[in-house]
Structure 1
Amino acid sequence: MQQRSEPIGSADYFGTPPWATRALMERLALSRSAVVWDSACGRGLIARPLAEYANHVISSDLLHYGHGEVMDFLAPEADAISCDWVITNPPFNLAAEFILKSFTRARCGVAILVRTAFAESRGRYEALFRDHPPTLRLQFVDRVVMHKGDPPDPDISMQVWDKKKDAFVLRKPSTATSYEWMVWDKTAPHTGTQTEWLATKRRDLTQTGDYSASKVFCEAS
């Protein structure tokens, strides 16, 4: 069963490793003039790498995590904002609602980071995929490690609580959860959903300063 690791006492969001956004943007190759909206921006971990590829990035979130405007993307107040693309990692239980709302706000396309398992369930099929199948499913080859709070550096060991040993142990961060980008490209002819693999290595897309220097404590399964 897929699950997300949750650090003790962290904010209620799963920060996206910046390399995962760079992998998407390298594939999409958007114009630098594109207006891109990260509508669940958290601490800006998607918005900042987006700004490496697009000159105008809008950032907002329901709560203030230190980056962007405070705004409920699903509320009527957000209707006044339009963009070329919505690119974001929404709360998992609201992802379908974010996608449907994004269709009305984005002129060119929508890209949403979701668990690979998001494609499952009859409820989501009937509410979303039956009438709005994605143009692209971009599956990561390297594992995208996300814990609750800021993402940990997968190459640096951190202290985790091991239930079996009843003690903290040093371990490199990992996750059992697989992620992908789902893309709806309004500018492309839709001839069915295409699946591709994002094969660029994580290390090749990682930059100095991408990860928080603070220690992360989480509970190991």
Structure 2
Amino acid sequence: MPKERIERDFYPTPSWCVKALLNCIEFRESDVIAEPCRGDGRVTNELPSGHIIKYAELAEGIDYLNPSKDMSADVIITNPPFSLALEFIATAMTRDLAQDGTMCFLLRLSMLGSKQRADFWRSFPWTNLLILTPRPSFVHGATDNAEYAWICWDRGNRIKRPAFWTLKKDEVEVCPSK
């Protein structure tokens, strides 16, 4: 029996996944950072201080795809709703990401293999694939049968890892959140 989807595809990002990604990024002092799907703040709570942080969250009446505010940014980091991931990527790339920006989306690796999405990936080719290991647990301490990665578009050369890299949970420093 298939599991029921959680309302609005709300699957909070595990803290270690965010910390592992942020360890790879060299932010610039003037970077404006955007989080299109803030949820309960798992990403925004880990972002470095001293930056302007913009966010959208449908539960708060701010629809990223039709925002009532400017969402332009130098860095965009998010775990989008799976059902709208392509729309979020296209919107971020064409509307919001700075010319020398960096964008990282937490997605299932299976997003890359679909015949229906092949032309999309040719239109929006990524630069870095940061695979998470072990599989993240999004709900109730269990994992699904999918591999996940931060798929990144690094036009600003902020990511300090090879194009294909593995982010290991046991290499993330465990410390209290800010």
Q: CA deviation at 1:142?
A: 2.3
CA distance in structure 2 between the aligned counterparts of 1:209 and 1:110, rounded to whole angstroms: 23
Task: Give the greater-gyration-radius structure (CA).
Answer: 1
Q: Does structure 1 residue 130 correspond to structure 2 residue 127?
A: no
1:117 is matched with which residue? 110
Seen in structure 2, the aligned counterparts of structure 1 residues 54 and 198 have a Cα distance that, compared at 3 Å, is farther
Q: Does structure 1 residue 142 correspond to structure 2 residue 134?
A: yes
Q: CA deviation at 1:194?
A: 2.7
List runs of 5+ in structure 1 lacking aligned partners: 65-69, 155-172, 211-221
**Two-structure CA RMSD over aligned residues (Å):** 2.7
Q: Does structure 1 residue 207 correspond to structure 2 residue 175?
A: yes
Structure 2 contact 9–82 (Cα < 8 Å) conserved: no
Three-state SS of the structure 2 residue aligned to 1:77 is coil
Seen in structure 2, the aligned counterparts of structure 1 residues 12 and 133 have a Cα distance that, compared at 3 Å, is closer
Structure 1 contact 18–206 (Cα < 8 Å) conserved: no
1:13 is matched with which residue? 10
Moved over 4 A (4+): 3-7
Structure 1 contact 137–194 (Cα < 8 Å) conserved: yes
Structure 2 contact 34–71 (Cα < 8 Å) conserved: no
TM-score (norm 2): 0.82
Q: Deviations over 1:31-86 (max 9, x none)?
A: 24321111101010111012x3662222221113xxxxx311111634x3311111
1:43 is matched with which residue? 40
Q: CA deviation at 1:16?
A: 0.4
2:153 is matched with which residue? 184
Q: Deviations over 1:90-118 (max 9, x none)?
A: 10011111011111201112110001111
List runs of 5+ in structure 2 lacking aligned partners: none
CA distance in structure 2 between the aligned counterparts of 1:15 and 1:121, rounded to whole angstroms: 25
